[in-house]
Structure 1
Amino acid sequence: MKTLTTFAVCLFASGVALAQTWSVDKSHSRVGFTVTHNLLAEVDGNFKTFDAKITSAKPDLSDAVFELTADVNSINTDNERRDGHLKSDSFFDAAKFPTLTFKSTSFKKVDGKKYTATGNLTMHGVTKPVTLDVTMVGPVKMKGQGGKEQEKVGFKIGTTVKRSDFGIGTIPTAVVSDEVEVKANGEFVKQEASN
Protein backbone atom coordinates (compact mmCIF):
# COMPACT_ATOMS: atom_id res chain seq x y z
CA MET A 1 0.00 0.00 0.00
CA LYS A 2 2.85 2.34 0.86
CA THR A 3 4.41 1.73 -2.56
CA LEU A 4 1.13 2.51 -4.33
CA THR A 5 0.69 5.73 -2.33
CA THR A 6 4.28 6.77 -3.08
CA PHE A 7 3.69 6.10 -6.79
CA ALA A 8 0.52 8.25 -6.78
CA VAL A 9 2.30 11.10 -4.99
CA CYS A 10 5.15 10.95 -7.53
CA LEU A 11 2.67 11.09 -10.41
CA PHE A 12 0.96 14.22 -9.10
CA ALA A 13 4.25 15.82 -8.07
CA SER A 14 5.61 15.35 -11.59
CA GLY A 15 2.53 17.01 -13.07
CA VAL A 16 1.23 13.85 -14.75
CA ALA A 17 -2.56 13.88 -14.86
CA LEU A 18 -4.81 10.91 -15.35
CA ALA A 19 -6.70 10.81 -18.64
CA GLN A 20 -10.36 11.77 -18.64
CA THR A 21 -12.90 10.26 -21.03
CA TRP A 22 -15.56 12.26 -22.87
CA SER A 23 -18.45 10.26 -24.38
CA VAL A 24 -20.47 11.38 -27.37
CA ASP A 25 -24.07 12.47 -26.84
CA LYS A 26 -25.53 10.73 -29.89
CA SER A 27 -28.82 12.62 -29.74
CA HIS A 28 -26.91 15.86 -30.35
CA SER A 29 -24.30 14.58 -32.81
CA ARG A 30 -24.07 13.59 -36.46
CA VAL A 31 -21.53 12.00 -38.81
CA GLY A 32 -22.25 12.90 -42.42
CA PHE A 33 -20.90 13.40 -45.91
CA THR A 34 -21.66 15.18 -49.18
CA VAL A 35 -20.89 14.17 -52.77
CA THR A 36 -21.70 15.84 -56.08
CA HIS A 37 -24.00 13.94 -58.46
CA ASN A 38 -23.76 14.37 -62.25
CA LEU A 39 -21.61 17.48 -61.72
CA LEU A 40 -24.88 19.23 -60.81
CA ALA A 41 -26.22 18.70 -57.32
CA GLU A 42 -24.93 17.87 -53.88
CA VAL A 43 -26.26 14.73 -52.20
CA ASP A 44 -26.00 14.42 -48.43
CA GLY A 45 -25.78 11.28 -46.34
CA ASN A 46 -24.96 10.18 -42.85
CA PHE A 47 -24.29 7.16 -40.68
CA LYS A 48 -27.15 6.57 -38.24
CA THR A 49 -25.14 4.23 -36.02
CA PHE A 50 -21.81 5.44 -34.69
CA ASP A 51 -19.83 5.85 -31.50
CA ALA A 52 -17.12 8.29 -30.53
CA LYS A 53 -15.05 9.24 -27.52
CA ILE A 54 -12.30 11.62 -26.54
CA THR A 55 -9.56 11.01 -24.02
CA SER A 56 -7.48 13.83 -22.61
CA ALA A 57 -5.29 14.40 -19.57
CA LYS A 58 -5.55 18.19 -19.79
CA PRO A 59 -8.68 20.12 -18.72
CA ASP A 60 -8.60 22.28 -21.88
CA LEU A 61 -8.45 19.14 -24.09
CA SER A 62 -5.32 20.42 -25.83
CA ASP A 63 -3.95 16.85 -25.85
CA ALA A 64 -7.24 15.26 -26.97
CA VAL A 65 -7.31 11.91 -28.74
CA PHE A 66 -10.42 11.34 -30.89
CA GLU A 67 -11.80 7.88 -31.70
CA LEU A 68 -14.77 7.22 -33.98
CA THR A 69 -16.43 4.06 -35.25
CA ALA A 70 -19.35 4.09 -37.71
CA ASP A 71 -21.51 1.20 -38.92
CA VAL A 72 -21.44 1.20 -42.72
CA ASN A 73 -24.74 -0.71 -42.79
CA SER A 74 -26.39 2.33 -41.19
CA ILE A 75 -25.60 4.58 -44.16
CA ASN A 76 -28.54 6.84 -44.97
CA THR A 77 -29.10 9.15 -47.95
CA ASP A 78 -32.92 9.22 -47.73
CA ASN A 79 -33.10 6.86 -50.72
CA GLU A 80 -33.37 3.14 -49.96
CA ARG A 81 -32.20 2.00 -53.39
CA ARG A 82 -29.14 4.27 -53.31
CA ASP A 83 -28.35 3.20 -49.74
CA GLY A 84 -28.41 -0.45 -50.85
CA HIS A 85 -26.06 0.37 -53.73
CA LEU A 86 -23.63 2.15 -51.38
CA LYS A 87 -23.58 -0.88 -49.05
CA SER A 88 -22.93 -3.28 -51.96
CA ASP A 89 -19.52 -4.45 -53.16
CA SER A 90 -19.73 -1.72 -55.83
CA PHE A 91 -18.96 0.83 -53.11
CA PHE A 92 -18.40 0.22 -49.38
CA ASP A 93 -18.87 -3.58 -49.47
CA ALA A 94 -20.46 -3.48 -46.02
CA ALA A 95 -20.65 -7.27 -45.80
CA LYS A 96 -16.85 -7.48 -45.93
CA PHE A 97 -15.98 -4.12 -44.34
CA PRO A 98 -18.81 -3.32 -41.89
CA THR A 99 -17.15 -0.45 -40.05
CA LEU A 100 -15.16 2.67 -40.72
CA THR A 101 -12.88 4.08 -38.03
CA PHE A 102 -10.83 7.14 -37.24
CA LYS A 103 -8.26 7.62 -34.48
CA SER A 104 -6.30 10.83 -34.10
CA THR A 105 -2.53 10.93 -33.64
CA SER A 106 -2.22 14.69 -33.02
CA PHE A 107 -4.43 17.63 -32.06
CA LYS A 108 -3.01 21.12 -32.59
CA LYS A 109 -4.36 24.59 -32.00
CA VAL A 110 -4.41 26.83 -35.07
CA ASP A 111 -6.05 29.98 -33.72
CA GLY A 112 -8.78 30.75 -31.19
CA LYS A 113 -11.28 27.90 -31.30
CA LYS A 114 -9.74 26.41 -34.48
CA TYR A 115 -7.67 23.21 -34.36
CA THR A 116 -6.43 20.48 -36.67
CA ALA A 117 -6.69 16.80 -35.82
CA THR A 118 -4.49 14.42 -37.79
CA GLY A 119 -5.06 10.70 -37.65
CA ASN A 120 -5.77 7.45 -39.44
CA LEU A 121 -9.04 6.87 -41.29
CA THR A 122 -9.91 3.29 -42.21
CA MET A 123 -12.62 2.56 -44.80
CA HIS A 124 -13.12 -0.37 -47.13
CA GLY A 125 -10.10 -2.10 -45.57
CA VAL A 126 -7.76 0.79 -46.45
CA THR A 127 -6.09 3.04 -43.87
CA LYS A 128 -4.91 6.52 -44.84
CA PRO A 129 -3.76 9.56 -42.85
CA VAL A 130 -6.19 12.48 -42.93
CA THR A 131 -6.27 15.94 -41.36
CA LEU A 132 -9.53 17.32 -39.99
CA ASP A 133 -10.43 20.97 -39.49
CA VAL A 134 -11.90 21.25 -36.00
CA THR A 135 -13.78 24.00 -34.20
CA MET A 136 -14.05 23.42 -30.44
CA VAL A 137 -16.61 25.15 -28.22
CA GLY A 138 -16.04 24.75 -24.50
CA PRO A 139 -15.53 22.89 -22.35
CA VAL A 140 -18.29 24.37 -20.21
CA LYS A 141 -20.08 23.29 -17.06
CA MET A 142 -23.87 23.18 -17.13
CA LYS A 143 -26.81 21.55 -15.45
CA GLY A 144 -27.84 18.25 -16.98
CA GLN A 145 -31.02 16.26 -16.53
CA GLY A 146 -32.00 16.02 -12.90
CA GLY A 147 -30.08 19.21 -12.13
CA LYS A 148 -26.73 17.46 -11.92
CA GLU A 149 -23.78 19.55 -13.11
CA GLN A 150 -21.96 18.16 -16.13
CA GLU A 151 -18.97 19.28 -18.14
CA LYS A 152 -19.57 19.33 -21.90
CA VAL A 153 -17.71 20.27 -25.06
CA GLY A 154 -18.80 20.67 -28.66
CA PHE A 155 -16.95 20.01 -31.90
CA LYS A 156 -17.60 20.88 -35.54
CA ILE A 157 -15.39 18.81 -37.82
CA GLY A 158 -14.80 18.83 -41.57
CA THR A 159 -12.42 17.57 -44.23
CA THR A 160 -12.40 16.30 -47.80
CA VAL A 161 -11.26 12.82 -48.81
CA LYS A 162 -11.08 11.04 -52.15
CA ARG A 163 -13.10 7.85 -52.37
CA SER A 164 -10.59 6.52 -54.90
CA ASP A 165 -7.89 6.62 -52.19
CA PHE A 166 -9.93 4.01 -50.32
CA GLY A 167 -11.00 1.98 -53.36
CA ILE A 168 -14.66 2.92 -52.90
CA GLY A 169 -16.65 2.74 -56.13
CA THR A 170 -15.44 2.61 -59.72
CA ILE A 171 -18.33 4.72 -60.97
CA PRO A 172 -17.11 7.65 -63.13
CA THR A 173 -16.43 10.91 -61.30
CA ALA A 174 -18.80 12.67 -63.71
CA VAL A 175 -21.60 10.66 -62.07
CA VAL A 176 -20.40 10.70 -58.45
CA SER A 177 -17.58 13.03 -57.44
CA ASP A 178 -14.31 11.49 -56.29
CA GLU A 179 -14.08 14.12 -53.59
CA VAL A 180 -16.27 13.50 -50.57
CA GLU A 181 -16.86 16.24 -48.04
CA VAL A 182 -16.93 14.79 -44.53
CA LYS A 183 -18.90 16.74 -41.93
CA ALA A 184 -19.45 15.88 -38.28
CA ASN A 185 -20.89 17.68 -35.29
CA GLY A 186 -20.49 16.32 -31.82
CA GLU A 187 -21.45 17.10 -28.26
CA PHE A 188 -19.40 15.25 -25.66
CA VAL A 189 -19.97 14.77 -21.94
CA LYS A 190 -17.11 14.30 -19.47
CA GLN A 191 -17.40 11.01 -17.66
CA GLU A 192 -16.86 10.74 -13.93
CA ALA A 193 -13.67 8.95 -13.00
CA SER A 194 -14.29 5.48 -11.62
CA ASN A 195 -12.77 4.50 -8.31
Structure 2
Amino acid sequence: MKHLFFTVAAGFISLASYAQTTWAPDKAHSKVGFTVTHMMLAEVDGSFKTYDAKITSAKPDLSDAAFEFSTDVNSIDTGNERRDGDLKGEKWFDAAKYPNLTFKSTSFKKGADGKYKMTGDLTMHGVTKPVTMDVAMMGPKQMPGRDGKPGPEKVGFKMTGTLKRTDFGVGSSGGMPVSEEVELRAAGEFTKQ
Protein backbone atom coordinates (compact mmCIF):
# COMPACT_ATOMS: atom_id res chain seq x y z
CA MET A 1 0.00 0.00 0.00
CA LYS A 2 2.82 2.38 0.89
CA HIS A 3 4.51 1.65 -2.46
CA LEU A 4 1.24 2.37 -4.31
CA PHE A 5 0.86 5.71 -2.49
CA PHE A 6 4.37 6.84 -3.50
CA THR A 7 3.81 5.71 -7.10
CA VAL A 8 0.54 7.68 -7.35
CA ALA A 9 2.10 10.73 -5.63
CA ALA A 10 5.09 10.64 -8.01
CA GLY A 11 2.65 10.46 -10.93
CA PHE A 12 0.79 13.58 -9.74
CA ILE A 13 4.06 15.46 -9.22
CA SER A 14 5.17 14.45 -12.71
CA LEU A 15 1.87 15.63 -14.22
CA ALA A 16 2.04 18.92 -12.32
CA SER A 17 5.54 19.63 -13.63
CA TYR A 18 4.26 19.29 -17.21
CA ALA A 19 1.11 21.35 -16.70
CA GLN A 20 0.57 24.00 -19.36
CA THR A 21 0.86 27.58 -18.20
CA THR A 22 -0.98 30.28 -20.12
CA TRP A 23 0.33 33.81 -20.68
CA ALA A 24 -1.97 36.64 -21.78
CA PRO A 25 -0.96 39.93 -23.44
CA ASP A 26 -0.80 43.19 -21.53
CA LYS A 27 -2.40 45.18 -24.36
CA ALA A 28 -1.39 48.53 -22.87
CA HIS A 29 2.22 47.47 -23.53
CA SER A 30 1.82 45.48 -26.75
CA LYS A 31 1.38 46.17 -30.47
CA VAL A 32 1.03 44.31 -33.75
CA GLY A 33 2.11 46.00 -36.95
CA PHE A 34 3.59 45.90 -40.41
CA THR A 35 5.58 48.06 -42.83
CA VAL A 36 5.38 48.28 -46.63
CA THR A 37 7.21 50.51 -49.09
CA HIS A 38 4.98 52.88 -51.06
CA MET A 39 5.94 53.67 -54.68
CA MET A 40 9.33 52.14 -53.82
CA LEU A 41 10.14 55.46 -52.11
CA ALA A 42 8.85 55.64 -48.55
CA GLU A 43 7.88 53.22 -45.82
CA VAL A 44 4.30 53.20 -44.53
CA ASP A 45 3.54 51.67 -41.15
CA GLY A 46 0.29 50.10 -40.08
CA SER A 47 -1.11 48.24 -37.10
CA PHE A 48 -4.11 46.20 -35.99
CA LYS A 49 -5.89 47.76 -33.03
CA THR A 50 -8.09 44.75 -32.19
CA TYR A 51 -6.28 41.47 -31.61
CA ASP A 52 -6.01 38.57 -29.22
CA ALA A 53 -3.01 36.44 -28.36
CA LYS A 54 -2.07 33.59 -26.08
CA ILE A 55 1.12 31.76 -25.19
CA THR A 56 1.16 28.32 -23.58
CA SER A 57 4.22 26.62 -22.16
CA ALA A 58 5.04 23.69 -19.89
CA LYS A 59 8.58 24.90 -19.14
CA PRO A 60 9.23 27.79 -16.73
CA ASP A 61 11.71 29.40 -19.18
CA LEU A 62 9.11 29.26 -22.01
CA SER A 63 11.59 27.48 -24.29
CA ASP A 64 8.72 25.26 -25.48
CA ALA A 65 6.27 28.15 -25.98
CA ALA A 66 3.34 27.82 -28.37
CA PHE A 67 1.89 31.06 -29.76
CA GLU A 68 -1.62 31.77 -31.01
CA PHE A 69 -2.72 35.09 -32.44
CA SER A 70 -5.78 36.49 -34.19
CA THR A 71 -6.76 39.96 -35.32
CA ASP A 72 -9.80 41.75 -36.67
CA VAL A 73 -8.78 42.97 -40.14
CA ASN A 74 -11.33 45.79 -39.83
CA SER A 75 -9.17 47.28 -37.05
CA ILE A 76 -6.34 48.08 -39.48
CA ASP A 77 -4.86 51.54 -38.88
CA THR A 78 -2.27 53.24 -41.08
CA GLY A 79 -3.00 56.75 -39.87
CA ASN A 80 -5.06 57.55 -42.97
CA GLU A 81 -8.80 56.75 -43.05
CA ARG A 82 -9.03 56.68 -46.84
CA ARG A 83 -6.12 54.24 -47.12
CA ASP A 84 -7.53 52.11 -44.29
CA GLY A 85 -10.87 51.89 -46.11
CA ASP A 86 -9.08 50.88 -49.31
CA LEU A 87 -7.08 48.19 -47.49
CA LYS A 88 -10.29 46.69 -46.06
CA GLY A 89 -11.76 46.49 -49.58
CA GLU A 90 -11.82 43.68 -52.14
CA LYS A 91 -8.52 44.65 -53.83
CA TRP A 92 -6.58 44.11 -50.63
CA PHE A 93 -7.71 42.28 -47.47
CA ASP A 94 -11.41 41.94 -48.44
CA ALA A 95 -12.35 42.21 -44.76
CA ALA A 96 -16.05 41.59 -45.46
CA LYS A 97 -15.18 38.10 -46.74
CA TYR A 98 -12.04 37.43 -44.67
CA PRO A 99 -12.49 39.36 -41.40
CA ASN A 100 -9.72 37.63 -39.43
CA LEU A 101 -6.02 37.04 -39.71
CA THR A 102 -4.68 34.16 -37.57
CA PHE A 103 -1.31 32.67 -36.65
CA LYS A 104 -0.51 29.45 -34.79
CA SER A 105 3.08 28.44 -34.13
CA THR A 106 4.35 25.00 -35.09
CA SER A 107 7.91 25.30 -33.73
CA PHE A 108 9.88 27.54 -31.38
CA LYS A 109 13.63 26.88 -31.53
CA LYS A 110 16.10 28.38 -29.10
CA GLY A 111 19.22 30.11 -30.37
CA ALA A 112 21.75 32.19 -28.41
CA ASP A 113 21.20 35.09 -26.02
CA GLY A 114 17.42 34.86 -25.72
CA LYS A 115 16.92 34.63 -29.51
CA TYR A 116 14.51 32.15 -31.09
CA LYS A 117 13.20 31.13 -34.51
CA MET A 118 9.45 30.67 -34.57
CA THR A 119 7.63 29.03 -37.45
CA GLY A 120 3.89 28.82 -37.73
CA ASP A 121 0.87 28.82 -39.99
CA LEU A 122 -0.42 32.26 -40.96
CA THR A 123 -3.93 32.44 -42.41
CA MET A 124 -4.76 35.65 -44.24
CA HIS A 125 -7.25 36.38 -47.04
CA GLY A 126 -8.36 32.72 -46.93
CA VAL A 127 -4.83 31.39 -47.59
CA THR A 128 -2.69 29.50 -45.06
CA LYS A 129 1.10 29.41 -45.46
CA PRO A 130 4.07 28.89 -43.12
CA VAL A 131 5.88 32.00 -41.89
CA THR A 132 9.12 32.16 -39.89
CA MET A 133 9.85 34.97 -37.48
CA ASP A 134 12.87 36.05 -35.45
CA VAL A 135 11.97 36.33 -31.77
CA ALA A 136 13.79 38.03 -28.91
CA MET A 137 12.56 37.08 -25.43
CA MET A 138 13.17 39.14 -22.29
CA GLY A 139 12.40 37.34 -19.04
CA PRO A 140 10.35 35.77 -17.70
CA LYS A 141 10.73 37.53 -14.38
CA GLN A 142 8.74 38.28 -11.28
CA MET A 143 7.56 41.89 -11.20
CA PRO A 144 7.37 43.92 -7.99
CA GLY A 145 3.89 44.53 -6.65
CA ARG A 146 2.58 47.90 -5.50
CA ASP A 147 2.21 46.78 -1.89
CA GLY A 148 5.74 45.43 -1.55
CA LYS A 149 4.64 41.86 -2.21
CA PRO A 150 5.71 39.99 -5.34
CA GLY A 151 3.66 40.99 -8.37
CA PRO A 152 2.81 38.96 -11.45
CA GLU A 153 5.35 37.09 -13.51
CA LYS A 154 5.86 38.71 -16.94
CA VAL A 155 7.77 38.08 -20.14
CA GLY A 156 8.51 40.35 -23.10
CA PHE A 157 8.74 39.42 -26.77
CA LYS A 158 9.83 41.22 -29.91
CA MET A 159 9.03 39.41 -33.17
CA THR A 160 9.98 40.32 -36.74
CA GLY A 161 9.58 38.61 -40.07
CA THR A 162 8.70 39.16 -43.71
CA LEU A 163 6.19 37.75 -46.15
CA LYS A 164 5.18 38.25 -49.75
CA ARG A 165 1.63 39.68 -49.71
CA THR A 166 0.68 38.22 -53.10
CA ASP A 167 1.40 34.71 -51.76
CA PHE A 168 -1.75 35.30 -49.72
CA GLY A 169 -3.68 36.99 -52.53
CA VAL A 170 -3.54 40.41 -50.87
CA GLY A 171 -3.31 43.17 -53.49
CA SER A 172 -2.55 40.59 -56.15
CA SER A 173 -4.02 42.53 -59.09
CA GLY A 174 -1.32 44.21 -61.18
CA GLY A 175 -0.03 47.74 -60.79
CA MET A 176 -0.28 48.00 -56.99
CA PRO A 177 1.89 50.88 -55.71
CA VAL A 178 3.33 49.08 -52.68
CA SER A 179 6.10 46.54 -52.22
CA GLU A 180 5.46 42.82 -52.53
CA GLU A 181 7.43 42.28 -49.34
CA VAL A 182 5.77 43.17 -46.06
CA GLU A 183 7.70 43.45 -42.81
CA LEU A 184 5.84 42.02 -39.81
CA ARG A 185 6.41 43.31 -36.29
CA ALA A 186 4.90 42.39 -32.95
CA ALA A 187 6.10 43.34 -29.51
CA GLY A 188 4.70 43.26 -26.05
CA GLU A 189 4.44 42.02 -22.53
CA PHE A 190 2.65 38.85 -21.48
CA THR A 191 1.46 38.09 -17.96
CA LYS A 192 1.38 34.61 -16.46
CA GLN A 193 -2.22 33.58 -15.73
TM-score, structure 2 as length reference: 0.91
SS in 2 for 1:25: strand
* RMSD over equivalenced CA pairs, Å: 2.0
Deviation at 1:170, TM superposition (A): 2.7
Distance 1:170 1:150 in 2: 45
Distance 2:7 2:104 in 1: 34
Range that drifts further, 104-113 or 32-41: 104-113
Asked whether the 8 Å contact 1:37–1:174 carries over to 2, the reply is no
Report the AA paired with residue 167 of structure 2. D
Distance 2:169 2:79 in 1: 24
Deviation at 1:21, TM superposition (A): 0.2
Report the AA paired with residue 183 of structure 2. E
Distance 1:61 1:152 in 2: 11
Asked whether the 8 Å contact 1:30–1:184 carries over to 2, the reply is yes
Please give the residue correspondences for 1:145-164 in structure 2 after superposition, counting only pairs within 5 Å. Answer: 149-164=151-166
Distance 1:173 1:183 in 2: 26
Deviation at 1:17, TM superposition (A): 1.2
Distance 1:108 1:77 in 2: 32
SS in 2 for 1:111: coil
Aligned to 2:27: 26
User: Which ranges of structure 2 fall in alignment gaps of 5 or more residues?
Assistant: none
Post-superposition CA distance 1:129-176 (Å, at most 9, x none) = 011100000001012456551100000000000001000013546711
Distance 1:82 1:28 in 2: 26
Report the AA paired with residue 118 of structure 2. A
Instruction: Determine whether 1:103 maps to 2:70.
Output: no
Range that drifts further, 6-15 or 150-159: 6-15
Report the AA paired with residue 157 of structure 1. M
SS in 2 for 1:112: coil
Post-superposition CA distance 1:24-56 (Å, at most 9, x none) = 011100000000000100000000000111000
Report the AA paired with residue 162 of structure 1. K
Structure 1 residues 94 and 6, CA gap change in structure 2 (3 angstroms):
farther
Aligned residues: 188
Distance 1:134 1:26 in 2: 18
Q: Detail structure 1 runs of 4+ shifted over 2 Å in the superposition.
A: 5-9, 11-16, 143-148, 170-174
Aligned to 1:136: 137
